[in-house]
Structure 1
Amino acid sequence: MRNLSLLLLALFAGFAQAMPTSQQFLTALDATAGQSGGSEKSLRLARIDNGVERDSRNFKVLDNGKGASLVEFLDPAERGQKVLSTQTEMWFLGGGSRRAIKVPPISRLFGDASLGDIARLNLAQDYQIAATAAEGEGREASWRLNLDARSEAATYSKVTIWLRQSDLEPLRAHYFLASGKHGKSAEFVRNRRVGAAWSSEEWLLAEPGENQRRTRLTIEAVRAKEVPDAWFTPRYLEMQR
């Protein structure tokens, strides 16, 4: 996910032998999720109501692999809108606007997805491991990682992630707001094994306690792409008008 969020959560299998406790583990999460180099992702968000898809949006996400990303809205009604996320700030450029405005990452994008879910969720940069615990037994055994934000630019103040102990496949996550409120949950429903790592390609976002209405986030394609650093500035966004 860099973004969503956990948009591509992938894990080294070597960590499965012990409870992950070090900050280096978060760096590994980001690196194996495509954070070590530039990339272009095709992403789709869909609103699901009682199991039926009601509406959807399509996006392109450019990531420079250095802590910045650029989201482009692709649907005709929103074409031209963009979101820029840097290491410290997030900016939005409307389709008919000439000036980018600063926005908080928690701003709602579509359905249950916020801007930060697809434009900013850099674990190693924004979070530190506060606590870990083992839960369940046998095939249900998992590691629970509690993460605290260490950057004011982080999308959420706290994140809790559950990983299956046997192979570290990502299972689910909870995201908490600055007030301490449980803001939303994510269920990772389609993961793909890539060598010694996992790539999460589809997950469901929902408000706590909501069982009927969800937002499905799908990574439809990813390819390596080196993008000039100059693209990741508010000034560059405004110059494209």
Structure 2
Amino acid sequence: MVMTPSDSHSVNRFLHFNTQRTEATPHVLHFRLKPLLVVFIALLLLFLYKPAQAAENTGEDNIARETLTRADRIRFPDEGFQVDVTITTTEPDTAEDVRTYRILSKGNSHTLVQTTAPAIDRGQILLMRDRDLWAFLPNLSQPIRLPLSQKLTGQVANGDLARANFTGDYNPKILRSEKINDESYQVLQLDAVDNSVTYRKVLFWVNAKNNRPYKAEFYALSGRLLKTGYYQEFLPLGGETRPTKLIIEDSLRRGRRSVLEYNNMVVRDLPDKIFTKDYLKKLSR
């Protein structure tokens, strides 16, 4: 076969085109491999970062839980105890309301709240077992089931007396640190473990040096701030230095507040039988 000049020209063009493609191939491969390399590195970094982040979060969670536990122990004893509480409620253009209660508590799962004044309400009893709360009234034969979040008196909810410790009811995390009056505070965000607890969320200020509670903000399910509590007058009570006064201010209606004063705290062994419905039916009559 004899190659004509025309054929020779076509072959040269073909060889030149394929040579260009061959020379360009490494660049094409490099262009295609570069995004894959970036993705691989990103996935590798993410894989390495997640365990480190999880370890860091676990460490912070442990610190938050320990801080919350220590603050709760300052507020109330771990073991069984008895304490008297006077609640004074003030509202604009309304006469001051004073009520007294005796609280018997065994850990954070068994609590008895007895109304001791005024005389008209004497004999009313709240019984809490775990997160179940019942009210025993002298004029009713059967107890009434109540939510912890329901108002007891003034700015005080049932759970503020019957289940006052935060540990176990809320998952804590460290939100931030704050400086107040030259004192350092850890601000804990406490998220409710479920809908049965008293509040949806609590922000809790704890002194970073001595773990004393300073302030708490209580939030509704909607995220709205309901009220703010201030822990004051740290004095010897029940064998430890504790806040003997809690001031709760209504964040929705200005000028409304309740002051809780704790007295006569005694650490004591409490029998299980007093935390039963049958026993309280007799006691409330």
Q: Name the TM tier (shorter chain).
A: 0.7 to 0.9
Structure 1: distance between partners of 2:191 and 2:281: 34
Aligned to 2:230: 187
**Which residue among 142, 153, 178 is the counterpart of 2:185?**
142
- More displaced 10-residue stretch of structure 1: 145-154 or 20-29: 20-29
Deviations 1:219-239 (A, max 9, x none): 022011222112112232223
- More displaced 10-residue stretch of structure 1: 97-106 or 228-237: 228-237
Instruction: State whether structure 2 residue 75 is matched by structure 1 residue 36.
Output: no
SS of alignment partner, residue 167 of structure 2: helix
**Which residue among 69, 90, 110 is the counterpart of 1:68?**
110
Structure 2: distance between partners of 1:228 and 1:141: 41
Deviations 1:65-117 (A, max 9, x none): 25210000011110110001111301111231121111001111111111111
Change (3 A) 1:211 1:193: farther
Q: Per-residue deviation at 1:21? A: 2.7
Aligned amino acid, residue 43 of structure 1: V
- More displaced 10-residue stretch of structure 1: 125-134 or 215-224: 125-134
Aligned to 2:63: 21
Aligned to 1:10: none
The answer as to whether partners of 1:69 and 1:119 remain within 8 angstroms in 2 is: yes
The answer as to whether partners of 1:87 and 1:153 remain within 8 angstroms in 2 is: no
Instruction: State whether structure 2 residue 180 is matched by structure 1 residue 128.
Output: no
Aligned amino acid, residue 29 of structure 1: A
Structure 1: distance between partners of 2:142 and 2:167: 31
Instruction: State whether structure 2 residue 275 is matched by structure 1 residue 232.
Output: yes
- More displaced 10-residue stretch of structure 1: 205-214 or 141-150: 205-214
Q: Per-residue deviation at 1:45? A: 0.2
Q: Per-residue deviation at 1:130? A: 3.0
Aligned to 2:148: 105
Aligned amino acid, residue 115 of structure 1: N
The answer as to whether partners of 1:46 and 1:53 remain within 8 angstroms in 2 is: no
The answer as to whether partners of 2:77 and 2:267 remain within 8 angstroms in 1 is: no
Change (3 A) 1:192 1:131: same
Q: Name the TM-score, length of structure 1 as normaliser.
A: 0.81
Aligned amino acid, residue 172 of structure 1: K
Instruction: State whether structure 2 residue 214 is matched by structure 1 residue 171.
Output: yes
Which stretches in structure 2 are left out of the alignment for 5+ residues? 1-59
Larger of the two Rg values belongs to structure: 2
Structure 2: distance between partners of 1:53 and 1:165: 39
Change (3 A) 1:192 1:132: farther
The answer as to whether partners of 1:121 and 1:155 remain within 8 angstroms in 2 is: no
Q: Name the TM-score, length of structure 2 as normaliser.
A: 0.69
Deviations 1:149-193 (A, max 9, x none): 114432111111112334333221101122322121101232237
Q: Once superposed, what is the RMSD of the aligned Cα atoms?
A: 2.7
The answer as to whether partners of 2:70 and 2:211 remain within 8 angstroms in 1 is: no
The structure in which a higher percent of residues are helix is 2
Aligned to 2:247: 204
Change (3 A) 1:151 1:55: same
Change (3 A) 1:26 1:140: closer
Number of residues of Structure 1 aligned to a counterpart in Structure 2 = 222
